[in-house]
Structure formats: C-alpha cells, structure tokens
Amino acid sequence: MLCRRSAGDASEYQMIASNVDYVAVVQSCHYDFNIRRLERYLVMVRDGGAEPICLLTKTDLVEPGVLASHLAQIRAAGITAPVLTVSNVTREGIDDIRGLLLPEKTYCFVGSSGVGKSTLINQLIGRELLETKRVSGTGEGRHTTVRRELILLEGGALVIDNPGMREFGIVAAEGGIAESFADIVSLAPGCRYRDCTHANEPGCAVRKAVESGEIGREHYENYIKLRKESDFHQLSYAEKRKKDRDFGKYIKSAKKDLDID
C-alpha cells in the first residue's frame, strides 16, 4: 500500500495505490531532481511493502556532467534501488525500462507534474493512449493526468499512471526509514545509549560518522527530519484514535443514560 499524509492534516493519510509490486519514482534531470525528496518517496514505498525503482527522465535536456552529478548524489545517499535514465525524445533507456517490467507484476509511476510519466508510459505501450500536453519553453512538461489509470502492457505487466504530486508528506514509517537509511541505522549499535536519537546525545556513533565525513551531513539531516515527521504523525494518529475511543465511550454512556438501544 502506497500512501502519503493528507495535506493540512497530520493524523490522516491519502491512499495512492494498493497491491502494487513496484513503484517507479520519476524525477526529471532538468529542474525536478531533488535527492531529499527522492529519499522521502523511497521511505514510503518501502514502508508500503513495494520495491522502488528510480527513473531519471529528460536526459536530453542536460549535459552529461549534470546527469553524472545526479547519479553521484544518489550513490552518496546510499540508495540501493535500481536507477535508470531515460529520454522520451531520443528514446534512449526505453528498452532498459521495458526489460524490467515483469509479466503479472504491477508498477505504479509517481512523481511531480510534468516529469514525463504519461509520455513514458505511452512509449512503453507503443501508442498515444494517455493524454499529454506540449512541453513548456524550458522543456518541462505540463500537468495533464487528473486520475489514476491501470494499463495492461503487451508483455503482461500492469502499470498505473498517477497525477503529479507537489507534496509527499510521510506517515508513520519506521520500517521504511530503517530500510532506506540502512547506512545510518547500521551504526546505531555503536552508540553509547541504546535509545539514542542521534541528535544531541554524547557518544553517538552516527554523529561521529557525520563529523568524519563517512555519512553525508544532508543525508543525516534528512534522516533526522523524516524520523521526527514520522514520530509526530504516529503521536498525532494515536491521539486521534484516543479521542475517537473516548467519544465512542461517551456516546455509549449517553445512550445508556437515555435508555436507547
């Protein structure tokens, strides 16, 4: 199950897709690439039980050095998910993606608006099934998809196209965080305190690794940020459940006092 926190409500979540085997997180190499947002997506993908794939699109719009820098950032962040690069213009990389799509498996494509998700799926289908719009003067696409669609490809794989998402708030995702930040979690047993939060405690092996350069500072700071966000949502959800239970008890008590079945 892939979900995100509902906008403006820390205790509710919005379902994106369920019963999916793989989630392809799509980012454009041009203006959309953001390693911190990519880590955020991967946390929720893994927490939902799916396998992530990273797709970098619009490689034709950037110099080889820019693409190499993006890939280096992904490697430096300890991301182990498959990373593929693709251009919908030159079609370079299309066959590599098609080769990953297994029969009877479901693939959900997610990412910001205009990164080329629908165009890419049209390439995989081999015809213009999904509506797309002309790109802007900068080469970026425009928001087009307004509903989710499930499509059966010729090879037997199922793909889901999703509307673009400007925000991707995480819900309680302890498991996804642990898996996505395995390099940081693996250092935790070396901390002085068993319940170390890796924030201010003395003898923290994680912060020592950050100070020595073994762990990137931005990678570490994103880990701390996502942990706090996850913990806050978990607390908010628990408080909401308690309020719901208390209200339910109040209703039962009021019905009993009024002798209502």
As a whole number of angstroms, the distance between CA 31 and CA 175 comes to 30
Instruction: Tell me, yes or no, whether 45 and 104 share the same domain.
Output: yes
Does residue 260 belong to any structural domain of this protein? no
pLDDT tens by residue, 90-146? 999 999 999 999 999 999 999 888 888 888 998 998 876 665 544 444 445 444 445
Residue 16, SS3 per DSSP: strand
Count structural domains, the chain: 2
Considering only CA atoms, which of 34, 28, 20 is closest in space to residue 55?
Answer: 28
pLDDT of 141 reads: 46
Q: Is the pLDDT of residue 249 over 50?
A: yes
Contact 50, 25 (CB under 8 A): no
- Pair (124, 21) in one structural domain: yes
The full length of the chain comes to: 261
pTM greater than 0.85 = no
Distance of CA 72 to the CA centre of its chain: 19
Measure CA 135 to chain center: 25
Two tokens at 207? 């912060």
- 125 contacts 155 by C-beta, under 8 angstroms: no
User: What CATH number has the domain bearing residue 142?
Assistant: 3.40.50.300
Find, among 9, 43, 50, the residue nearest to 176 by Cα. Answer: 43
Query: Which residues, at least 6 apart from 241, have a Cβ–Cβ distance to it below 8 Å?
Result: none
Q: What is the pLDDT of residues 51-75, one digit of tens each?
A: 999 999 999 999 999 999 999 999 9
Q: How far apart are the C-alpha atoms of 35 and 94, rounded to whole Å? A: 23
- What is the domain-level CATH number for residue 199? 1.10.40.50
Q: What whole-number distance in Å separates Cα of residue 41 and Cα of residue 23? A: 9
Instruction: Choose one of 108, 132, 161: the last residue of a domain.
Output: 161
Predicted local confidence at residue 145, as pLDDT: 46
The average pLDDT across 161-167 equals 69
Question: Residues 130, 136, 139, 140: is their CA dihedral positive or negative?
Answer: negative
AA identity, residue 24: A
Q: Is position 20 within any domain?
A: yes
pLDDT confidence of 238, banded at 50, 70, 90? very low
Domain ranges, residue 89: 2-161
**AA identity, residue 181:** F
In a domain, 261, yes or no: no
pLDDT in tens, 5-45: 555 555 566 667 788 999 999 999 988 899 988 998 898 88
